[in-house]
Amino acid sequence: MNDWHASDHLMTRYADGSLPESDAWSLETHLERCGGCAVRVSRAVRATAAEAVLAEVREAVLAEAPAAAPAPAPERPAAARAHRWPSTGSRAVRVLWALGPAVRGAWLPAVLLVAVGAVALAHGGGFAHARPWLLALAPVVPVAGVALSYGPHADPMHEITAATPAAGLRLVLTRTAAVLAVSLPLLTLAGALLPSTGAPNAAAWLLPGLALTLASLALAGYVGLRAATAVTGGAWLCAVLGPVLTAPGGLTRELGLRLSSYLGGAPAQGGWAAAAVLSAALLAARRPAFHFLEKS
């Protein structure tokens, strides 16, 4: 049950369109779980001029398809609807639906391929320097997963999803959490199974990966999700692999030295932690922008 219910004044302002957008989204989110308030909001809307418009639309729809219009079901008492709460199974289905694009499609097999391929290359192919290459790619794996988890390119029902109160930052964070829950333990375990060969430890990429993911989300509030992930992921790859490809010495040795400076030691890790906190603060400040993210 909900401990808070919308006041009559709040519902009246929502019905006449004078409620600020952020408050309106908050109220609509509450209505998803509170049948009693949903009934009261419906009555408040019917008391405005919108009732006549809605009645005309309903009559037009029924006139176009009279045979398809089902007989109205008897209305349940308001008290019964107010105390209705989804079962555990239905809530689990809703969670799986929300996570869907983040854990299906080509991204998940790609993560498995990177992790399993690195281990197989090190132990089956005799390539003892697989860990530096895995650590170089690992921070951009969750960034790519975030880019592929939200938007019309990832979800065929995105237009419908984006119009619901649960869309925006809430859904983006839900799918980002799913991406991190898959990639962080899998890639870290793969790194732990690889020979160290002077590279940073297997968990050294976790803070950079988190910071790059949060930076991508914060930047998405300005330029969109796909553009933001392309900027942050591309910047990391250029910073790490660019100097390595142009170095006169061995690629793996140069990569290990580059990663040690970026990932190794308390100063580097402290810098990534500070970047993650700053990105989280910027993300919170840009939260309203996510109501319109990837809607076109």
Domain boundaries, the chain: 8-82, 88-292
Return the number of other C-beta atoms located less than 10 Å from residue 92's C-beta. 11
Both tokens of residue 18?
């004078």
Contact present, 197 and 256 (Cβ < 8 Å): yes
Q: Which of 20-34, 151-165, 223-237 has the lowest mean pLDDT?
A: 151-165
The pLDDT > 90 percentage for the chain reads 17
Give the tens place of pLDDT for each residue, 233-287.
Answer: 999 999 888 887 777 766 777 888 888 888 888 899 999 999 999 999 999 888 8
Give the tens place of pLDDT for each residue, 54-87.
Answer: 677 777 777 776 555 455 555 444 444 444 444 4
Task: Give 262's contacts (C-beta < 8 A, 6+ positions apart).
Answer: 208, 239, 240, 268
Q: Residue 32: helix, strand or coil by DSSP? A: coil
pLDDT of residue 85: 41
Residue 35 has pLDDT above 70, yes or no: yes
How many whole angstroms from its chain centre is CA 243?
Answer: 32
